[in-house]
Amino acid sequence: MAIQISTAIAIYFVIWWIALFLTLPFGVRSQHEDGVGAPGTDPGAPILTRMGRKLIWTTIISAIFYGAGLAAYHAGYLSIERLSKLMGMPF
pLDDT: is 2 or 36 the higher one?
Answer: 36
Q: What distance in Å separates the CA atoms of residue 56 and residue 17, rounded to the nearest whole number?
A: 13
- Give the global pTM: 0.73
User: Tens digits of per-residue pLDDT, 62-80?
Assistant: 999 999 988 888 887 777 6
Beta-strand runs (E) in 1-91: 29-30, 46-48
**What Rg do the C-alpha atoms of the chain give, in angstroms?**
20
